[in-house]
Chain A
Amino acid sequence: MAAARAEPGSGPAGGARFFCTAGRGLEPFLMREVRVRLAATQVEYVSGKVFFTTCSDLNMLKKLKSAERLFLLIKKLFPFTASSSKGKILNEVQQLVNNDPRSWLDAISTWKNLLKLGVREELSQRDAKPPKRKMRENETIIAKKLKTEEIQKIEENHRECQLEEQTEDTLEQRDSTTRRDKLEKEEIQKEVEKAAGAHSQEDLTFRVSCRCTGTIGKVFTSQEVGRIIGIALMKQFGWKADLRNPNLEIFVHLNDIYTVAGIPMFRAPLASRTYIKTAGLRSTIAWAMASLAEIKVGTFVLDPMCGLGTILLEAAKEWPDGYYVGADVSDSQLLGAWDNLKAAGLNDKIELLKVSAIELPLPSESIDIIISDIPFGKKFKLGKDIKTILQEMERSLRWQRGSFLPGARFCGFFKNMESDLKIIR
């Protein structure tokens, strides 16, 4: 990742505060990633969530690779005292909304701005013009009136079009891009007509997703609390509840450490990549492993048990200047990998071999980096023992002066029987 890619001016001025959920063990990766990719400040990790402030816009935020889901922060408070009477707690829950309604409205306006900027950039990129930030007076209906669902529909379409385009055998990128552009322009037009209706606060429809865990989870069900919050919001702001297809989704999590409310920024989790057709290893973990390897221009990276190629896909997407080779003994896995590469448009970047990890047909000391998710018996079984495999990897790696040097890195994830992850270097 290049830190230079963070564009401080393109998002909300002064920055907005977000939080992400992350898989267990990935929090340090996420904290590092938001700092590097988004120039984030005030980064803190609390009980499964990483909170941070950034000026980046949605397009940059969408690029986060080690996060599960991204939310715009509405509120973060001390946990509710579960020892109080039920009535008292319910009162506190209502206060979450009524104490400071301004903060809710501010969050929603930030949310709307983020979406507006996202769409405007999409449109302007397509017109190959630089984003016009001064177009406030002439703001089109498109930017003003779009609801989240429409935007997500566009995103989904965009994704579908991308996959469609990449599965074509020809490399006529230009033709496919113009076709995709046309489809998207048409889609936006449709959404504009649809969205022409709602333009004021009162027309906003919403839904509350609530999670109650820890002590308070024993007193109340998530549904109970969700309902209280929903009613409070309706009374305070006049919004209408829509459980099926709301404009706005509110996410609330109550546990022993905090009470957090946020707005999810994307419908699909960040972990489900648009460029991966069939995932093997979880994409966030695959990316994290690759990020440890410090891949540079011309680095020879091998995954001797690549399966569906997830690690190589994540690596090649983020660090396209490496030389990537994946190997596997299974025909079906290699076929899946090949499909994945094609769908992602990365079959020029990643070579595949049908070879055994204990008999690598490569000269000794020819590989710079080996990254692998070694099958440990839960889903796939290892034919030979792990020692033989490691010996073969050791032989083929470019060791310098017989010791581990920055020149050669081995990074493997071992999932033991308790499903914990360990990194071994």
Chain B
Amino acid sequence: MKLLTHNLLSSHVRGVGPRGFPLRLQATEVRVNPVEFNPDFVARMIPKVEWAALLEAADTLHLAEVPRAPTEGYEHDEDFLRKMHHVLLEVEVLEGTLQCPESGRLFPISRGIPNMLLNDEETET
């Protein structure tokens, strides 16, 4: 699970609503992979990023050099884009947990795949 994906995931436990975001990340195994840098792609992701959630996750993983906010004219700031590329796409959580901030429910991450299935009592319907 990359941090770009973590940035999108929220808990769907019953009654939690928007307070189910962001999921608190805990990692026991992390891998860093080189991924081909596509500045266009990264630039398009920037407006979609939830910064507080990203910074919280990056801090948990003790990542260095994480930009705190988009710079002015970030689309052409290669240094900024490369750093964001690294944070969003090159850091992979292989084992760990995601925790719903409201209900405390834990979702395991195994082999890089978060398991967010809820049982019947927990679902919204």
Contacts of B11 in A (CB 8 A): 361
Contact at B40–A298, with CB atoms within 8 Å? Answer: yes
Complex CA distance for A81 and B8, rounded to whole angstroms = 65
Contact of B45 among A298, A351, A352, A358 (CB under 8 A): A298
A206 interface residue, CB < 8 Å from B? no
- Tell me the smallest distance from the CB of B41 to a CB of chain A, in Å: 5
Query: Contact at B8–A321, with CB atoms within 8 Å?
Result: no
Residue of B nearest to A329 (CB): B117
State whether A321 and B113 are in contact (beta carbons under 8 Å apart), knowing that A361-B9, A361-B12 are contacts in the complex: no
Q: Are A171 and B33 in contact (CB under 8 A)?
A: yes
Q: Is the CB of B111 within 8 A of A338?
A: yes
Q: In this assembly, does B99 line the interface, its C-beta being within 8 Å of a C-beta of chain A?
A: no
Q: How far is the CA of A334 from the CA of B114 in the complex (A)?
A: 11
Total contacting residues, chain B, CB less than 8 A: 34
B83 CB-CB contact with A under 8 Å: no
CA distance A338 to B10 in the complex (A): 23
Let me know if B89 and A348 touch, CB within 8 A. yes
User: B4 at interface (Cβ–Cβ under 8 A)?
Assistant: yes
Fill in one digit per residue for A333-377: 1 if any B CB lies within 8 Å of its CB, else 0.
Answer: 010001000000000100111111011111100100000000000
- How many whole Å from B17's CB to the nearest CB in chain A? 11
Contacts of B38 in A (CB 8 A): 297, 321
Please tell me if the beta carbons of B115 and A359 are within 8 angstroms of each other in the complex. Answer: no
B61 interface contact, C-beta 8 A: no
| Chain B 109-125 interface residues, beta-carbon cutoff 8 Å to A | 111-118, 123-125
Q: Least Cβ distance of A17 to chain B in Å?
A: 38
Do residues A348 and B33 form an inter-chain contact, with CB atoms below 8 A?
yes
- Chain A residues lying within 8 Å of B81, measured Cβ to Cβ, are none
Residue of chain B at shortest CB distance from A326? B113
Q: Cβ of B114 and Cβ of A354 under 8 Å apart?
A: yes
Measured CB to CB, the nearest residue on chain B to A384 is B125
Known contacts A338-B113, A348-B89; A363 and B118 CB within 8 A of each other: no
Question: Is the CB of A323 closer than 8 A to any CB of chain B?
Answer: yes
A207 to B112, CA, bound (A): 50
Contact of B41 among A298, A353, A362, A363 (CB under 8 A): A298
A297 to B48, alpha carbons, bound, how many Å? 14
CB contacts between A and B, total, < 8 Å: 69
DSSP majority for the A interface?
Answer: loop
Does A313 lie at the interface of the complex (its beta carbon under 8 Å from any beta carbon of B)? no
Q: Is B35 among interface residues, defined by CB-CB distance under 8 A? A: yes
Report the bound CA distance from A116 to B125 in whole Å: 63
**Interface code A283-307, partner B: CB below 8 Å = 1, 0 otherwise?**
0000000000000011010000000
A316 at the B interface (CB under 8 A): no
A325 contacts B by Cβ under 8 Å: yes
A155-172 residues with Cβ-Cβ distance < 8 A to B are: 171
Q: Is the CB of B118 within 8 A of A353?
A: no
B45 lies within 8 A of A355 (CB): no
In the assembly, what is the distance between CA of A348 and CA of B33, in Å?
8
Cβ contacts A308-327/B at 8 Å (1 or 0 each): 00000000000001010100
* B34, B115, B116, B125 — most chain A CB neighbours (10 Å): B116
B44 located at the interface, meaning its Cβ lies under 8 Å from any Cβ of chain A in the complex = yes
Question: A358 — which chain B residues lie within 8 A by C-beta?
Answer: 125
> For window 78-116 of chain B, which residues contact chain A by CB distance below 8 Å?
89, 111-116
B1 near A323 with CB under 8 A, answer: no
B4 near A353 with CB under 8 A, answer: no
Q: Identify which of A329, A353, A361 contacts B10 (C-beta below 8 A).
A: A361
In the bound complex, do residue A354 and residue B12 qualify as a contact, i.e. CB atoms below 8 Å apart?
Answer: no
Could you list 8 A-B pairs, sorted by A, with CB under 8 Å?
Answer: A171-B33, A329-B117, A338-B112, A348-B35, A352-B112, A361-B11, A363-B8, A363-B21
